[in-house]
Amino acid sequence: MPEPAHHADVVIVGAGVSGLSAAHQLIRAGVTTVILEAAPYVGGRMSTEKVDGFRLDRIGQLLSTSYPELRHTPGLDALALRPFAPGLLVHSEGQHHRAAEFIGAPGPRRARGALHAARALASAPLVPRPARTAARTPSGTAPGRALRTSRPPARSTPLGSALDQARLGAALARLAATPVRRLLARPELPAARALSARGLPTRTIEGFLRPLLSALLCDPDLTTSSRCADLALHAFARGRLCLPEGGADVLPELLAAALPPGTVRTGVRVTAVAANRVMTAEHGELTCRGVLLATDARAAAELLPGLRVPSFHPVTVVHHAVPEPPLAEPALLLDADRRGPVAHTAVVSHVDPTRAPAGRFLVSSTVLGPPPDDLDRTVLAHLAALYGTPTDRWELLAAHHTREAVPAMPPPHDLRRPVRLLSGLYVCGDHRDTSTVQGALHSGRRAARAVLADLGIEPTHTEDQLPTAA
Ligand SMILES: Cc1cc2nc3c(=O)[nH]c(=O)nc-3n(C[C@H](O)[C@H](O)[C@H](O)COP(=O)(O)OP(=O)(O)OC[C@H]3O[C@@H](n4cnc5c(N)ncnc54)[C@H](O)[C@@H]3O)c2cc1C
């Protein structure tokens, strides 16, 4: 008998969320499983750096409470999601506009909510709340200390008319209520072209939908397939944008902690794979009945030449410690004007107080596309305009640049790229599904199912036709 350390039914290469999700499905079905991870920690791209008591995500992590896999993946029951509240602010023409109330449940209630929201949106643009509302914000602020907010940017131009807002609200309500399979049956175009064909006013598209979709897809030019864009908006309209409490790495760490001890072996780089064995740099060979590659797309193609490597959207996340929070609310601020590098930003310590030490404030901002050479200077200048406050006393904590952050999804995009290459050899990861945490988790579930089918094992749980939220 081979030593357990050198044999498992299935070896998974990579302990990102897709590999961890697959391991849960396999182990639940009684399949012995080992995950080999090259890094010294689990989570892959979902990592969080700890600096002076701040928790700094490598990724500009926007999750949606409506992602089905967050509810269905074992081990995530303890995951706390911190919603942006009231939701979104859009910075346009020197002003902040509230765009939060579109979010709600689908169906007639949702539609009524959208119309209500439309009316709210048509009213005066948002002015940051005065100090007395500070007590209602999360406790990232020092106890007993009034929140000072900056003055709003001076110029005042409405984002759109009441009618524009009503049409947008109704369009989102319809989208929320549309079944995913109908969304996927729509003609597929680059998202930017599809948006302009939807009959919405240009200012609604440019002032709200474009910045929102850019943030959700990490794609500033909206070259993404309109089907993926529809799925992203569908998830947005059905749930709330949120962050995992404690940092992005909490999600994979919860998944790993719920696996049997010894399942994940970190610090083990796989150098070659076949259907019944893997070779590692550090520990020789492991034999198995199946290998599941759960790496990023490029590493997968290095191990199995011939696998497609997509192009990628680069993303840079910049973290600043700030002496005073520039917004009173835990909202996500989107830039509609594109007069600087920042696509979206938030006082993250308002959204999730665990990410900053007591009495300190964390602003995290996301730059989409190639970053400028003088990143911190241009980001600070842009943030000063977005928040309407001086930023010269803001302290740079970290700037994380990931060149191959998010696999691009131009049309035609196969949302269900095959996960079974041949009996014994499988592949999963965000590059086989949608380029999101939801897509990565879902691809792991699909791959585990393919493995079980080849091993002649019935899944222990009913496989759902899980709607893909994004
Ligand atoms: C900057 C940035 C911003 C993002 N923003 C969002 C967002 O707002 N919302 C959202 O939903 N998603 C976002 N994403 C995408 C999301 O993070 C990914 O889709 C998801 O984490 C991918 O998980 P994965 O398991 O497919 O791959 P990965 O996380 O890449 O995991 C692959 C693992 O394989 C390991 N590995 C590679 N090669 C080997 C080898 N030879 N041997 C052993 N191990 C190996 C790697 O070390 C890694 O741990 C963002 C990503 C980035 C980088």
Q: Are 330 and 346 in contact (CB under 8 A)?
A: yes
Ligand 1 centre distance from Cα of residue 121 (Å)? 36
Among 168, 232, 165, smallest CA distance to 198 is for: 168
Question: For position 4, what pLDDT does the model report?
Answer: 58
Ligand 1 centre distance from Cα of residue 178 (Å)? 30
| pLDDT higher than threshold 70 for residue 462 | no
Q: Tell me the mean pLDDT in the region 90-114.
A: 59
| pLDDT higher than threshold 70 for residue 54 | yes
Chain position carrying tokens 């050198």? 6
CB-based pocket (< 6 A), ligand 1: 13-19, 36-39, 44-46, 59-63, 218, 269-270, 294-296, 299, 315, 317, 402, 405-406, 429-430, 435-437, 440
Q: Are 300 and 307 in contact (CB under 8 A)?
A: yes
Q: For all residues of the chain together, what is the average pLDDT?
A: 85
Protein residue closest via CA to atom 29 of ligand 1: 44
Mutate to test the pocket of ligand 1, among 17, 49, 59, 313 (most ligand atoms within 8 A of CB): 59
Q: Are 365 and 324 in contact (CB under 8 A)?
A: no
- Which DSSP letter does residue 207 get? I
Question: For position 2, what pLDDT does the model report?
Answer: 53
Q: Tell me the mean pLDDT in the region 426-442.
A: 97
**What's phi and psi for 190, nearest 5 deg?**
-60, 140
Mutate to test the pocket of ligand 1, among 36, 213, 296, 312 (most ligand atoms within 8 A of CB): 296
CA distance 6 to 4: 5
CA distance 200 to 322: 38
Structure tokens at 188: 């597929």
CA distance 235 to 229: 10
Among 344, 347, 342, 345, smallest CA distance to 324 is for: 347
Protein residue closest via CA to atom 3 of ligand 1: 59
In the three-class reduction of DSSP (H, G, I as helix; E, B as strand; rest coil), residue 171 is classed as: helix
393, exposed or middle or buried, with CB in 10 Å at 0-12, 13-18, 19+? exposed
pLDDT in tens, 206-247: 889 999 999 999 999 999 999 999 999 999 999 999 999 999
Ligand 1 centre distance from Cα of residue 350 (Å)? 26
Closest atom of ligand 1 to 440 CA is 26
Q: Read off the amino acid at residue 438.
A: Q
| pLDDT higher than threshold 50 for residue 193 | yes
Question: Poorest-confidence range of 157-171, 179-193, 340-354?
Answer: 157-171
Q: Are 410 and 417 in contact (CB under 8 A)?
A: no
Ligand 1 centre distance from Cα of residue 78 (Å)? 21
Question: For position 461, what pLDDT does the model report?
Answer: 58
- Model confidence at 57, in pLDDT bands (50, 70, 90)? very high
Closest atom of ligand 1 to 14 CA is 34
Report if pTM > 0.85.
yes
How open is the CA angle 354-238-364, to the nearest 5 degrees?
A: 30
Question: For position 133, what pLDDT does the model report?
Answer: 28
Ligand 1 centre distance from Cα of residue 58 (Å)? 10
Ligand 1 centre distance from Cα of residue 408 (Å)? 14
Most confident of 140-154, 399-413, 453-467: 399-413
Between 317 and 196, the higher pLDDT residue: 317
Ligand 1 centre distance from Cα of residue 213 (Å)? 20
Question: For position 426, what pLDDT does the model report?
Answer: 98
- Model confidence at 275, in pLDDT bands (50, 70, 90)? very high
Pairing of strands 284-293, 277-280: antiparallel
Protein residue closest via CA to atom 20 of ligand 1: 437
Closest atom of ligand 1 to 248 CA is 17
Closest atom of ligand 1 to 404 CA is 53
- Which DSSP letter does residue 423 get? T
Which residues lie closer than 8 Å to 207 by C-beta, 6 or more apart?
90, 92, 97, 159, 160, 336
Ligand 1 centre distance from Cα of residue 431 (Å)? 10
Ligand 1 centre distance from Cα of residue 175 (Å)? 28
Ligand 1 centre distance from Cα of residue 132 (Å)? 42
Which residues lie closer than 8 Å to 185 by C-beta, 6 or more apart?
none
At what angle are helices 437-455 and 17-28 packed, to 10 degrees? 40
Between 360 and 87, the higher pLDDT residue: 360
Closest atom of ligand 1 to 215 CA is 8
CA distance 128 to 377: 25
Q: Read off the amino acid at residue 309.
A: V
Ligand 1 centre distance from Cα of residue 404 (Å)? 10
- Which DSSP letter does residue 347 get? E
Q: Are 359 and 366 in contact (CB under 8 A)?
A: no
Structure tokens at 304: 């199995």
